[in-house]
Amino acid sequence: MPEVEIRNLKKSYPPPFSWRWLVGKREAPREALAGVSFDIAPGEVVALIGPNGAGKSTLLRILTGLLLPSSGSARVAGLDVVEDRPRSRAVVGAALSEDRGLSSRLTVRQNLAFYAALFGLSQREAASRTAELAERLEAKALLERRVRTLSTGEKARVILVRALLHQPRVLLLDELTRSLDPGAAVRLRRQVAQEVAGSGAAVLFASHDLSEVEAIASRVVLLDRGHVVAFGPYQSVKPRADEVFAKPAEA
C-alpha cells in the first residue's frame, strides 16, 4: 500500500476580492493543480521539480493539511488529508519553504522541546529523540545555542530535526537546501537520504536543484502549470525537464 496516494488532485485559487465584482467583472480562478495523480511507496524518496508557479508548494501544503484541494483526493499513511484532519497531520513531518517558526530568543533545544510537545511527545521522549537526531544530523553542537545566532544552513538543519521529531511516516520538504552553500547542501541532502533509509518514511521534496534530485530521489515528478508532465526515474524525466525549464516564463 502506498504511503502517499494522490488521485486527480485539483486546486484553483479564488481571485482576490475586488470592487469590480460589483459591476460583474470577476477574474477567473487561478489553476495551480490540474488533476495530479501519483503514489509514493514507504521508504521511497520522490522529487518534485518544475518551474516557478508549477504547483509544487501548493501540492506540499495540501498534503500537510494547510490547504484545501478543489477536488480529487490525497492520502498520507492511509489517512485522507481533508476528511481525516487533524489526525492526518500527525503522520506528516514538514519543512516548508517559508517555514521560519523558530523562536529566536530560545535555544535550539528549547524550540525542539516545544515542537515535540506540539506533536504529543512526552518530555522524556522529546529529550531522547532530540539527542538521537542531533547526533545523526550533526546538530549536537547547536542544541544549546540561541536560534538568533544560527546561520541559514544551521537553521535548515534544525528545521529538518524538527520535522523528524515525531517520527513522521511522510516527510515533506520544500527547497530545504535553497539558501545553503554547495558544501552544506551536499551534507544536508546526504543526511536526509541516510535518515530516510533508516526510518522508512516516504519523502516528497520540492527542489530546483537537479543535482540534488539526481543524488537522492528514486523517482521524479515533473510539474508544469499544475500538470504532471513526466514521472519516473531521473534519467527518464531529464530530457522533458530540460525542455520545460528551457521554456520562457509565461507572462
Partner 1 sequence: MRLLLAFLRRDILIAASYRLSFAFMLAGGLITLTVFYFLARTMGETALLRERYGADYFSFALVGVAVASCLRAMQTSFAGRLREAQTDGSLEVLLAAPHSTFRVIASLAAYPVATAFLRAVGLIALGWWLFGADLHLEPFSFTVTLGLALLAFGALGLLSAAFVLTFKRGDPFTYALDTATYLLAGVVYPVEVLPEALQWAAKLLPATHALSALRASALKGQGLSEVAPSLLVLALFSLALWPLAALALTLARRHVERAGTLPHA
Residues at the site binding partner 1, with contacts judged by CB under 8 A:
13-14, 16, 32, 58, 61, 64-68, 86-90, 92, 94, 96, 98-103, 105-106, 110, 113-115, 117-120
CB 81 within 8 A of CB 88: yes
Q: Which is nearer to partner 1, 106 or 186 (CB)?
A: 106
CB atoms closer than 10 angstroms to residue 50: 25
Helices (H) and strands (E) in the chain, counts: 7, 10
Query: What burial letters (b/e) apply to 134-163, b meaning 16+ CB within 10 Å?
Result: beebebeebbeeebeebeebbbbbbbbbbb
Smallest gap from residue 5 Cβ to partner 1 (A): 19
The three cell numbers of residue 36 are 495530479
Min dist CB 141 to partner 1, Å, is: 21
State how far the Cα of 236 lies from the Cα of 183, in Å rounded to an integer: 27
Residue whose CB is less far from partner 1, 48 or 126: 126
CB of 83 to partner 1, least distance (A): 14
CB closer to partner 1, 113 vs 142: 113
Q: ∠ at Cα 107 (101, 113), nearest 5°?
A: 70
- Taking the least distance from each CB to partner 1, the nearer of 15 and 239 is 15
* CB of residue 176 to partner 1, shortest distance in Å: 14
Q: Least distance (Å) from partner 1 to the CB of residue 246?
A: 28
Sheet holding 227-232, edge to edge: 92-95, 170-174, 202-206, 45-49, 219-224, 227-232
**Residue 126 burial by CB count (10 A; 0-12/13-18/19+): exposed, middle or buried?**
buried
Q: How far is the CB of 14 from partner 1 (least distance, A)?
A: 6
By beta-carbon proximity to partner 1, the closer residue of 56 and 238 is 56
Q: Cβ closer to partner 1: 12 or 191?
A: 12
